[in-house]
Amino acid sequence: MLMLFFTLFTVNALASANTAPAEEVKHEYSEKSLGQLLESFYKTTGIYAFTNPSDDVMTSEAHAEDARPMTTFEQTWGRLIMIAICLFLFYLAIAKGFEPLLLMPIAFGGILANIPLAGIGGETGMLGIIYNMGIANGFFPLLIFMGVGAMTDFTPLLANPKSAILGGAAQFGIFGSLVGAVALGFDLQSASAISIIGGADGPTSIFIANRLAPELLGAIAVAAYSYMALVPVIQPPIMKALTTEAERKIKMPKLRKVNKLENLTLPIVILLLAILFLPESTPLIGAFCLGNFFKQSGAVERLSDTMQNSLINIVTIFLGLGVGSKLAADKFLVLETLGIMIIGLIAFAAGTAAGVIMAKVMNKFSSEENRINPLIGAAGVSAVPMAARVVSKVGQEYDKSNVLLMHAMGPNVAGVIGSAVAAGVLLSIF
C-alpha cells in the first residue's frame, strides 16, 4: 500500500513538473516623483470626480450589461442634487419624525449610490448585491408582508365590517393612476405596474413591477416608498380640506369585543377566497395570512415574535438600502422617473380623498349614534399602520379625548388586502 501510494505520488509530481507553467502577468512599477504621486491621489478623490466629468464613466447597475455612459450633468450637479435630497430626507426622518424606519435606510442608500468611483450600486457593490438578492426577484416584499401580517390585528375590521368599504374606496387611487399613466404615454402593462403606487403600498408595488415592468422597478419602488414615508406630510392637508371641524370631532361608538375564533378564522377565509378567485395574488396574501395566522393561533409565539421584530427589521434595512440605490442621479433625475413620481403623488392624494369622501357619503345613511368620523377614510390606503396613526393624530388636534386609532385600523387593514387584490386582478389580466 505504501509502495503504491509512493508510486502514484511520484507520477503526479513528475506530471506537474512537466507541465508548462502559466505565464505570470507582472505589474511593472515605474518610479514617480512626489508631485506625480499627489496628482494620482487627487484624481481618485471625490472632488476630482465631481469637478472633472469623463466620457468613459459608466452608470452603476445591478446588472452590468445595463450600464451606459453617464452624462456630464449626472456626474456633477446631478449627484450633488441627489445627495442634498437625501440629506433633506434625513432631516424629515430625524427632526420631524416622518417614518424614520423607512426614510433613514432609503436616504443613506441614496447617498451611497451617488458616491463617485466606488461603484457601490454596481453588480458587485453592496447595494447592487442587496438589490439583486431581494428586490429584483420580489423576495423582500413577501417577507415584509409576512411581518406585517404578524403585526396586524383584524379586530377593528371584524368589529366594524363596514369600514372595509373605506379601504375599497381608497383603491380609487390605483385605478386613477392607471388612467393617468396611460395618458402620459405608458403602455397598459407598464401603467398597471405604476398604478399600485396610488395605494402607497411599497411591497405590492415592487412585487407587481417585477412581474409586469422590470425595467421600471427602480422608479416604482422609489415612488411607492417615498409616499409611504411621507404620509404624515401629504395626507393631513387633504383630510382637513375635505372635512369640517365638526366632522373631525365626531366620536365613534366603542368597538364590540371580537373573540379569538373570529380572528383565527379570518386569515384562512381570506386565503381561500384568494385561491379560488385570484391565485395570482396568493404570494402576497398568502405571506400576509401566514404571519397573521401564526400570531392569532398563540401556539408559535417565538415564530410570531421573530416575524414582528427581528425578521421585518432586518428586511426593512436591506429593502431601504436597495430602494435607496435607485436614488442615484442617473436613475432618479430622468423624465420617466419624475413622471412616475408625479403620477404616484396625484394618485395617492386621490386615494386619500376618495376614502374621506366615501366616509362622508356613508354618514348620509347612518344614524346619529353610528356616524363615522370622515378622517378614518384616509386610512384606507395601504400604508399600515402609518395612515392610521396620522388619522389619530389629526383627530386629537381638535379633540384630545377622541381616540380614532383603532377605528382607523379597520380601513387600513382593508386597504392592505385591497391593494393585494388589485395587484392580483392586474396580474391575472396580463
Helix (H, G, I), strand (E, B) or coil at 44: coil
Dihedral, 36, 38, 42, 44 alpha carbons, nearest 10? 80
pTM for this entry: 0.85
Maximum C-alpha span of the chain: 102
Of residues 334, 328, 335, 338, the one with CA closest to residue 122: 328
Alpha helices for 114-250 (secondary structure H): 126-130, 139-151, 155-159, 163-169, 172-183, 188-195, 202-212, 217-229, 231-241, 245-248
Helix (H, G, I), strand (E, B) or coil at 153: coil
Our count of domains for the chain comes to 1
Residue 401 lies in a domain: yes
Look at residue 156 and tell me whether its pLDDT is greater than 60: yes
For the chain, the straight-line distance linking the first and the last C-alpha, in angstroms and rounded, comes to 68
Residue 237 lies in a domain: yes
Q: Peptide bond preceding 385: is omega within 30 degrees of 0, i.e. cis?
A: yes
Residue 287 lies in a domain: yes
Residue 411 lies in a domain: yes
For residue 34, the model assigns a pLDDT of 86
Q: Which amino acid is at 430?
A: F
For residue 9, the model assigns a pLDDT of 46
For residue 299, the model assigns a pLDDT of 93
Can you tell me the distance from the alpha carbon of 90 to that of 106, in angstroms, rounded to the nearest whole number?
A: 9
Residue 18 lies in a domain: no
Look at residue 20 and tell me whether its pLDDT is greater than 80: no
More confidently predicted of 203 and 26? 203
Contact 156, 407 (CB under 8 A): yes
- The DSSP string of 68-96 is -BPPHHIIIIIHHHHHHHHHHHHHHHHTS
Look at residue 343 and tell me whether its pLDDT is greater than 90: no
Residues above pLDDT 90, as percent of the chain = 46
The band of 362, judged by pLDDT with boundaries at 50, 70 and 90, is very high
- The DSSP string of 204-229 is HHHHHHHHH-GGGHHHHHHHHHHHHH
C-alpha cell at 392: 389619530
Residue 3 lies in a domain: no
Of residues 376, 361, 337, the one with CA closest to residue 250: 376
Q: Which residue has the cell 382607523?
A: 408
Look at residue 318 and tell me whether its pLDDT is greater than 70: yes
Give the list of residues 6+ apart from residue 383 with CB closer than 8 angstroms, or none.
200, 201, 227, 228, 231, 412, 415
Can you tell me the distance from the alpha carbon of 291 to that of 288, in angstroms, rounded to the nearest whole number?
A: 5
Look at residue 356 and tell me whether its pLDDT is greater than 50: yes
For residue 60, the model assigns a pLDDT of 86
State pLDDT tens for residues 239-261.
999 999 999 999 998 888 999 99
For residue 4, the model assigns a pLDDT of 56
Look at residue 17 and tell me whether its pLDDT is greater than 70: no
- CA-to-CA dists, residue 257 to 159, 161, 263, 267, 351, angstroms: 7, 13, 11, 18, 30
Can you tell me the distance from the alpha carbon of 174 to that of 423, in angstroms, rounded to the nearest whole number?
A: 9
Give the residue-averaged pLDDT of 345-351: 88
Contact 325, 121 (CB under 8 A): yes
Give the residue-averaged pLDDT of 306-318: 95
Backbone angles phi, psi at 58, to 5 degrees: -100, 155
Give the residue-averaged pLDDT of 64-93: 91
State pLDDT tens for residues 192-218.
888 888 877 888 988 898 889 888 887
Q: Which residue has the cell 395617492?
A: 348
Give the residue-averaged pLDDT of 379-389: 87
Q: Which amino acid is at 331?
A: K
Helix (H, G, I), strand (E, B) or coil at 58: strand
Structural domain boundaries enclosing 338: 142-219+231-318+331-429
- CA dihedral for 269, 275, 279, 283, sign (positive or negative): positive
Give the residue-averaged pLDDT of 314-335: 90
Look at residue 126 and tell me whether its pLDDT is greater than 80: yes
Residue 387 lies in a domain: yes
For residue 276, the model assigns a pLDDT of 94
Residue 346 lies in a domain: yes
